[in-house]
Amino acid sequence: MKYCVGVDVGGTTIKNGIFEESGKLIVKWAIPTRKEDGSAHIFEDIADSISTKLTETGISKADVLGIGMGVPGPVLPDGYVEVCVNLGLNERFPARELSALMDGMPVKISNDANIAALGEMWQGGGKGYESICMVTLGTGVGGGIIHDEKIINGCHGIAGEIGHMHVTDGEEESCNCGGHGCLEQYASATGIVRVAKRKLLETDVKSLLREKEERFSAKDVCDAAKAGDEIALETLEYSMGKLGLVLSYIAMCSDPEVFVIGGGVSKAGEFLTAIIERHLNSHLNMIKKKEKNVVLARLGNDAGIYGAAKMVLE
Ligand SMILES: [Zn+2]
């Protein structure tokens, strides 16, 4: 039996998992992200933690095919990470560093959104498909494109960063990336709330959201929309309309078999994916027979470790 290890490095915790080649998760665990001194000790911590867990589970290092690792920032084709803001990592080769600490074990690296997409293709909502685009609707909007079972990283490591595609001219508020009018500003959890607040200001129409006096979440907007609230429905039409438009652009570029929607906002379920799918398909006039092409993610926060481990098997 051979194994692979998946590591998903986040700003507060590092998630880890040991998998069988078949995709079966043997054990998962998390350690805190030690960010002091520019995350100087982060790879030692990961190496120690993996070595300890392999000993505990009785798996020999010789039976581990390799480690896959995701980091929250762009990764260049040679594994170089120029800057990783959340970790304070600058100008590093994380995979090389971890490999050296693990006696030369092969280590592969990619961006965290990309490994989540690969994970969903392998064992999640995209299982059974080889080409998918995953969109994570959380605090921000993340994305990853998998083509023929491989991550498209791009030359600068920004392939699949759909949250920062420009969708609106004249936006005055700025995005986290410094841009104005990015998809993330409308379709993320915070974006949905922002759109709803703007709609409430434009009209006096009664709304469940107005009763909450500005203290509502994206979940509240989705719940109100399900209950037939006019403002909430208009909000989702607008926000998911922007997303559907962007997905149609991706369809014209890489033409995936399905789009997989994950992240906290996706808990609204098929009510939400149906809106996205309707907008997407309204722009896909070149395809006559439209099958169900927007599905829900299934792995939640574990998608990253699954995809990281799967990279080893490429
Ligand atoms: Zn942006």
In angstroms, what is the span from residue 161 Cα to ligand 1's centroid? 9
In angstroms, what is the span from residue 181 Cα to ligand 1's centroid? 7
Compute the average pLDDT of residues 224-250.
97
Residue 50 identity: I
Which residues are in the CB-under-5-Å shell of ion ligand 1?
164, 175, 177, 179, 182
For residue 85, pLDDT over 90 is answered with: no
Compute the average pLDDT of residues 244-262.
96
> Measured between alpha carbons, how far is 242 from 10 in angstroms, rounded to an integer?
28
pLDDT band, very low/low/confident/very high, at 216 (cuts 50, 70, 90) = very high
In angstroms, what is the span from residue 237 Cα to ligand 1's centroid? 21
In angstroms, what is the span from residue 280 Cα to ligand 1's centroid? 21
pLDDT of residue 36: 83
pLDDT band, very low/low/confident/very high, at 245 (cuts 50, 70, 90) = very high
In angstroms, what is the span from residue 144 Cα to ligand 1's centroid? 16
CATH architecture of 3-122+302-312: 2-Layer Sandwich (3.30)
In angstroms, what is the span from residue 191 Cα to ligand 1's centroid? 12
In angstroms, what is the span from residue 242 Cα to ligand 1's centroid? 14
For residue 288, pLDDT over 80 is answered with: no
In angstroms, what is the span from residue 268 Cα to ligand 1's centroid? 24
In angstroms, what is the span from residue 307 Cα to ligand 1's centroid? 25
In angstroms, what is the span from residue 169 Cα to ligand 1's centroid? 13
In angstroms, what is the span from residue 176 Cα to ligand 1's centroid? 6
User: What is the dihedral sign for C-alpha 50, 52, 55, 61?
Assistant: positive
Compute the average pLDDT of residues 77-89.
87
> Measured between alpha carbons, how far is 182 from 4 in angstroms, rounded to an integer?
37
| 8 A C-beta contact, residue 307 and residue 118 | yes
Taking the domains of the chain in order of start, what are their residue ranges?
3-122+302-312, 129-297
* Tokens at 136, concatenated: 């994570």
Minimum mean pLDDT range among 75-89, 125-139, 180-194 = 75-89
CATH architecture of 129-297: 2-Layer Sandwich (3.30)
In angstroms, what is the span from residue 256 Cα to ligand 1's centroid? 23
**In terms of Cα–Cα distance, which of 231, 291, 295 is closest to 269?**
295
> Measured between alpha carbons, how far is 278 from 280 in angstroms, rounded to an integer?
6
In angstroms, what is the span from residue 73 Cα to ligand 1's centroid? 14
SS (H, E, C) 69-82: EEECCCCCCCCCEE
In angstroms, what is the span from residue 157 Cα to ligand 1's centroid? 15
In angstroms, what is the span from residue 18 Cα to ligand 1's centroid? 34
In angstroms, what is the span from residue 44 Cα to ligand 1's centroid? 33
In angstroms, what is the span from residue 187 Cα to ligand 1's centroid? 12
pLDDT of residue 176: 87
**In terms of Cα–Cα distance, which of 294, 198, 189 is closest to 246?**
294
